[in-house]
Structures are given as C-alpha cells and as structure tokens.
Amino acid sequence: MAKTLLFDALREAIEEEMAINSSVLVIGEDVGHYGGSYKVTKGLHAKYGDLRVLDTPIAENSFTGMAIGAAMTGLRPIVEGMNMSFLLLAFNQISNNAGMLRYTSGGNFTIPIVIRGPGGVGRQLGAEHSQRLEAYFQAIPGLKIVACSTPYNAKGLLKSAIRDNNPVVFFEHVLLYNLQSDIPDHDYLLALDQAELVREGKDVTILTYSRMRHHVIQAVDMLVGEGYNPEIIDLISLKPLDMQTISQSIRKTHKVIIVEECMKTAGIGAELIAQINETVFDYLDHPVVRLSSQDIPTPYNGSLEKETVIHPHQIQQAVRDIVKAKTSI
C-alpha cells in the first residue's frame, strides 16, 4: 500500500493503461507539455510524445468529435475537459455520436472513449466553473457515468473505464484532487456499475457520491456518538444506478436520505427517488428525504457559495428527524 493523492492515482491509472495498450491516448487542452490543469497528465507527454498525448486548440466540440472518430477506428481515447462545464460545448458530439453510434450502426462500431475532468462546486470558481453536469449527461442513452470519490476508487474505476468498450463519462471533483489515502501497489480494477457500501448500519440508508461522501462520513462520525447507526452507500455508478445494492439496504433500514451536490430539480436524487418508488416503495416507512444543492447558478461570493451546497450539520439534522419520525407511509 502507498499513500497517494487522488490526482496522482488518476495519472497512475492512465500511465499504466498507456504502457500496456498502445491504442490508449490522451486528448485535451494543455494535457501535454503543461501536464494538465490539475497535473493528472503530468509527465505523460515526455514519455509518449505528441501522437499519444495531444494538446488541442480551445475547441471542445472539435477535439471531442475527433476522439469519437478515433474510438470508431479502434483507438481508446481519453478526453480531458479542462473543466467539465466546458464539455457542454461538445454536448452534441457526446449525445448524438458517442452515445448513439454503437446503436445506430447496428453494432458495427464500438466507442471505447473516456470523457473525464474536474467538476463540482469549488472555492469561488464562479458559476461557469462550478457546474454539476451529472444530470445533464444522465439523460443521454448509451453512456456510462461514474463519479470517483477516493484515490483508491479513482484509480480502479478509471482503469476499468479505459478498458470498457462503451463511452464512459468520468466525473472528478475539483476539491478532491488533493485527497490522500492508501492504494494497493498491485494492479486492480473496480466495477463501473456497482455502488460501494461505505458503512453498515440499520437506522437509515444514506445515498451519496463524489465529494458529498466525505460530508456524509463527517456527519455520521458525530451521529454515532449520539447513538445513531446510519448506513452509507457511495453510488459511484450514476448510470446505471446499482439498484440491487440500494434496494438491499432499504429493505433493511426502511428509510432513505439522498445527499448530493447536484441541483434538486431533475437531479440524480430525483431519478433515485423515482427508481426507489418503483422497486422498493412497500419497504419505506418514511418518504425519501433529499438534500440537494440550490437551483441557482453558483455564486462567486464565498459566503453565498457555501449556502448553495449541503453541509454535515444539515445531514445530521436530517438523520435525527427521519429516525425519530413515526411511520408516515
């Protein structure tokens, strides 16, 4: 085991896959000589050169389209968005091409592409650099969507995404890059479609992902001292949702809290509630509680920005309220 920062874990994943498979390449703005805005691709250009680490113009629609075409020919491109918000400029290519071509070609083409980069609410990055695009991409048929949350799962998931024959949108949170933890020295892969049971409990199921995993853990650490026993599940896979793991937990706890940084309206939590109601409604003893970000562009002002997202004290209060509540369904 070795202590590793999350951005280093991502770089290790890319470098290891490039070493064993010559069809893997990296495409994006400043990914080469500069080493990426958050240093995820640092050192790769010196090792692999211009043909496998391509610095592009500031034209997301063009280089994303080029990467999809490269994937159709058998290459395995990794597209880095300098900020995931910028990939809205390539929404047409991601939706009409990456998501559809395997189907519209009758299976004649596979699209083994990974589209990754930083997103989420940072620290005073402004509205256009603080978007949470999970729900935007979740609506696109044909995509897999993954949100990493620790150095360990970041490396294992990215390696699996690179090897997958389907387009994978890979979300990294801008405030987690300097998160450090132990990861194995040996090669390992993690399933792209499985949630992680972070903590077993019996009082209430807390569903979360990305940065909010750490807010939930902080809140639960305090709640345990008060005698509460929540169960924590990191969704990891946002499309498809791992309803088997989620349903198994709900059948045990009978109560659910969703904690997300996504917007409340039409967010990941909204889809979760719909699927929970369709599959395990009869096991619920209380309506699902949803803690989501405000439906506004993220303010630049630090105090206002802080008010738009969920914090541990709000999670603690939600757990207290739902555990103490009498059965209402």
Give the residue numbers annotated as catalytic, written as ranges.
Answer: 60, 129
Query: What's the 3-state SS for 69-124?
Result: HHHHCCCEEEEECCCHHHHHHHHHHHHHHHCCHHHHCCCCCCCCCEEEEEECCCCC
Q: What is the DSSP letter of 55?
A: E
Judged on CB neighbours under 10 Å (0-12, 13-18, 19+), 50 is: exposed
Distance CA 297, CA 250 (A): 33
Report the C-alpha gap between 262 and 132 in whole angstroms: 6
Does residue 81 come out as left (phi exceeding 0), alpha (psi in the -120 to 50 range) or beta? beta
Cβ neighbours of residue 27 closer than 8 Å, sequence gap 6 or more? 54, 56, 63, 66, 67, 70, 77, 78, 79, 80
Q: How far is CA 47 from CA 95, 288, 307, in A?
A: 33, 50, 44
Q: What's the rounded Cα separation, in Å, for the pair 253 and 251? A: 6
